[in-house]
Chains A and B, each alone.
Chain A
Amino acid sequence: MKAAKSTSAKKRKSVRKETGFAPDLVRTGEGIINPRIFTDPEINRQEMERIFTRSWLYVAHESEIPQPGDFVTRTMGDDPVIVWRGQDGKVRVFLNVCRHRGRRVCVEDMGKAVHFKCPYHGWTYGNSGQLISVPFFEGYQGKLDKELLGLYETPKIESYHGLIFANWDAKAEPLNDYLGEAKWVLDLLFGRTQGMEVVGPPMRWEADANWKLAAANFAGDGVHLFTTHGFRSALGLADKLEGERVSYRLTTAKGHASALSGFKGNYCMGLPEDLQAEMRRHLTEEQLRIMGPLLIIVGNVFPNLSFLSSGQHTSEEWGGGGDRDGLVSFVTLRQWQPKGADKMEVWSWCFVDKNASDGWKVASRESYLRVFGMGGMFEQDDMENWVDVTQALRGPIAKRLWLQYKMGLGRSHKERPIPSLKDVKDGAFSEDSERAFYRYWQQLMAQRV
């Protein structure tokens, strides 16, 4: 026992020496994490390299760029990219940096283009990335090879239910394997009908908070609901849905995590009958059985893509109604873009089922912006937490303490509550999702690129 301990201490020491990252800042086995990982600029610099240049990162939804030439500009970690559908219909992701002198070749958020001409010296690229023309090309006297200087493209791009992910790592495993059992949960939102469509461009805003606090919160922190969002109870809004709680928690080895919850009964996220009929054609019997009681589907695809669908009563007092029993739900994706250790930019999108009625689309979109997004009554208070935590942990004394992630450690669970999934447990309240997130984070941080 003693020998094993000293071997692992030795190992930690050597990781630290080789990579400059102290792996024991994260101790998921004990359920404790050191505050330094949220505030240290050096750790942030390392995670930009070690996490963001070799993870599958979400870049766009196919419904944002349906036609040849359509593009949106996004960021992958600190790097600006263009997600661009070529004339051949294929989507590619390019670094939005001119190969000549580094200016962004595309300065719009979205649009349609057959080529981009760099506003600096006029190098022009076609929408499969090729360098088409260079002003005064003859001046290079054959020393410039246009073939080699197309826009720099991510070696990997794959999609799942229209969610496009890209990866800078040519050796990355296929997206399918990376997502693993998280796909089963994504099916409940993005694969339940003929398809989802994005409602519009994202809301974007900045907060002085570390990105991981948001990602890990969405990974499955069900406990904060009762305090952070306590206004629900104070206004009597929480009492409308009650009963025997039904909950499942997914935690994967790749750091993805999700929590599904609801109450015994047939709520099915408040989806109207026409969408439920469509759903019965797209989901498996097992998925349909699990969907029945659900009112909340929340989670995080590692590293920084969170998803949420939440059903609530939008009675008169909320200022709008769904068309089914006063219950309406929305689907949002949000990305936490790090901008240094103590700042992030939030991108928040709303999605609706493509085939939904106009009435449902309006109600769903409104229920989203009432509670999430910049002005959302839930999200406002989430932001306040994460900004406050990031600021409060700056001091040397705060960094000597350890933050607690012990809930659910060693708890025993029912064997496979969802038989087809090995990574799912039952139970609503646990910090296992955060532990899964930070365990994989630590694993990547302890390996140099």
Chain B
Amino acid sequence: MRRAVRAALALAAVGGGGCDAGPERGTEDGVAPPVVRAEPVVGTVMPAAGAAAEFVLADTHGRPYDFLEETRGSVAMLFFGFTNCPDVCPVHLANLAAVLDQLPSRISRQVTVVFVTVDPERDTPERVREWLDGFDRDFVGLIGDAERVHDIQLGLGLPPAVVRRDGEGAVDVGHASHVMVFSRERDRRWVYPFGTRQSDWARDIPRLVEGVPTATAEES
């Protein structure tokens, strides 16, 4: 329901002319400007990440992975989670994998999904690789020390994950459930909450890849 309301608001914003130069709006010389229609997306627009997105962590092969450099030219989807997560993480990744599998390759090959573990103590590179391969072998897994990952999340405006261990070995992990999406030019980014459906991704990813101007309810 909330998504429907947001979509309706976004549509209303678009229809209301907030982001739309409609064809009926002529210019003084009588030539109509090109129509640039902002498409509603589920994700919420956030300010550009700037230097916060400049980080380097180790990938699952132990090589340094410069996030900005390696994902240059593609839409990057960044997600912080852990492999023992019973709900949010596998659902997000399974949905992304399913949709990317169905989209035309000219779209899907311009998307890079990057998973950063917030539980490096248990998530070894091998464990992360094996887990990600269960969804999509092209998904990138990154591992860094907990403090560094904490700082990256803070810098990106995400609540940092909290990992609690009790005396009996039980581990409780709380983490942001958002997928952060960076435009190809890195000038825009969006956060997609848990609850984003495959149908949402299937509609939004081509728009994000093709650089279609987007609007969200928050912008209206």
- Does B associate with A? no
- Chain B positions within 8 Å of A, measured between CB atoms, are none
